[in-house]
Amino acid sequence: MKALTRLAGFKYLGRRRVLALVVILALSSALFSMTAFSLLGFYRGFTAYLGEGGDVVVVYDRRSHTPFTGLVPAYLAERISALNGVLACSPEAIAPCAVKGEPVFLRGILPESFAKLNQLTMIEGGMLEPGDLNYAIVGRSAAERLHVRLGDRVLALGVLTDRYVELQVKGVFASRSPMDDEILAPLHVGQWLRGADYGHVTLIRFRIDRDVLTPSRVFEEVAKEASEPSPPPSVAPGQPPLGIAPRMMVGFRAEDVGVEEAYSFMRSYLDRYGVTRESLLILSAMVFLLSGVSVALASRTIMAQHKDEVSVLRSLGASRRLLKRDVLIKLLPWSLAASSMGLALATLALTAIQERGYLRALSHSIAFRLDPLAVALNFILVLTLVSVGVLKAELE
């Protein structure tokens, strides 16, 4: 211990050579951080697409391979809304479209019902009203990307069907959610562009009181309706109907309909294809390790470049283990600094890319933020690679 203390005060590492290692470490750290933050941002945005709270429940089509292409009976919205504990209900028809040659999702909604689940701030113009037929409101990000303004007419071309519709922009909204990249239109417009009849929607979202109602109880009602369809529920005095017109009762199988919390519903699609938060971190770590080969080699090169200094110290009685420990102690602060530099570089780069609208997936912007686990893993990988490179180096 005394020998290590005396050796620590002896400066024999070349500053330029250490700086070269720092640059390599910073670049590898930046590569890992950009990959991890982008992938985790996509995962977080996708799973929060329909809401994060446990009180938001989704009725969806189990047979669909994506959350945007399923179809469920629209009249279930009124059936389930009659249950005690349902606070809000929003049937929605989501249609992938092309507007001005750009891909965008158009979501058909019932304005009053939708507003109870999502708070929209109108930047320009006004909100959709029940009597609007060929109007739409556009999310702030979508409006900037599509270069549309209040009062413009846009032609939405359906991707899943050979259909189109011309809509007039009634307003531009902000929701602070992935819906800022979408166009909201009356429900029948979404159904038309999706290729569905008026008896089906893509999904139905509910806000429930978890103390009164559970998702399993909602599914019981769905299963009951599949086996024994009941007449339309009565509307309480002063309570307007949902506005699904015409009311079409269609047959369905209970096993084809799922009921889950919104977050679990979206996450299940990612899990189906093996896309989990852990797998994305592992993928990012693999990217870092591939680039980290250069880190380990650079660490070993540091030792080789100082063979003359090492030989002198060896002749003075310093052991190989002592020298490696001393080099490692001297390099660890530089490694931490390099990892922090890479983290900062990745943050600046992703911020610039996001502001220019290049960070996108499934026609939605990816919002990244620092993930504590990714940040910790970044430092751990850097220190591990440097340690392995130094401790495995050959000393004469």
Is the pLDDT score of 392 beyond 50?
yes
- 299: closest CA among 392, 395, 381? 392
∠ CA 312-315-320, rounded to 5°:
90
Q: If pLDDT is split at 50, 70 and 90, which confidence band does 127 have?
A: very high
Distance CA 268, CA 87 (A): 25
- Cβ-based neighbours of 169, under 8 Å, separated by 6 or more: 125, 135, 136, 137, 138, 143, 148, 149, 150, 151, 152, 153, 154
Is the pLDDT score of 208 beyond 80?
yes
10: amino acid identity, one letter? F
Highest mean pLDDT among 14-18, 244-248, 360-364: 14-18
- 77: closest CA among 119, 108, 45, 121? 108
The pLDDT > 90 percentage for the chain reads 21
Token readout for 98 is 């092309």
Q: Is residue 215 within 8 Å of 55, Cβ to Cβ?
A: no
Token readout for 395 is 């000393």
- 156: closest CA among 91, 96, 93? 96
Dihedral sign for Cα atoms in the order 239, 242, 244, 250? negative
Least-confidence region, from 55-64, 172-181, 373-382 = 373-382
Is the pLDDT score of 184 beyond 70?
yes
Over the chain, what is the mean pLDDT?
78
Residue 290 or residue 30, greater confidence: 30
- Tell me the HSE value of 3 on the side-chain side, using a 13 A CA sphere: 12
- pLDDT (tens digit, 9 = 90+) per residue, 11-42? 656 677 778 778 888 888 888 888 878 777 77
- pLDDT (tens digit, 9 = 90+) per residue, 81-92? 888 999 999 999
Distance CA 94, CA 91 (A): 10
Q: If pLDDT is split at 50, 70 and 90, which confidence band does 236 have?
A: very low
Q: If pLDDT is split at 50, 70 and 90, which confidence band does 4 have?
A: very low
Range 220-235 average pLDDT: 72
Determine the angle formed by the axes of helices 307-315 and 277-305, rounding to 10 degrees: 70
pLDDT of residue 38: 76
- Residue 60 host element (H or E): strand 56-61
Q: Is residue 160 within 8 Å of 74, Cβ to Cβ?
A: no
- 205: closest CA among 105, 60, 57, 70? 57
The pLDDT > 70 percentage for the chain reads 70
Token readout for 80 is 């389930």
Residue with tokens 């660890």: 332
Residue 352 or residue 230, greater confidence: 352
Token readout for 214 is 């559970």
pLDDT of residue 259: 86
- Cβ-based neighbours of 48, under 8 Å, separated by 6 or more: 177, 178, 263, 266
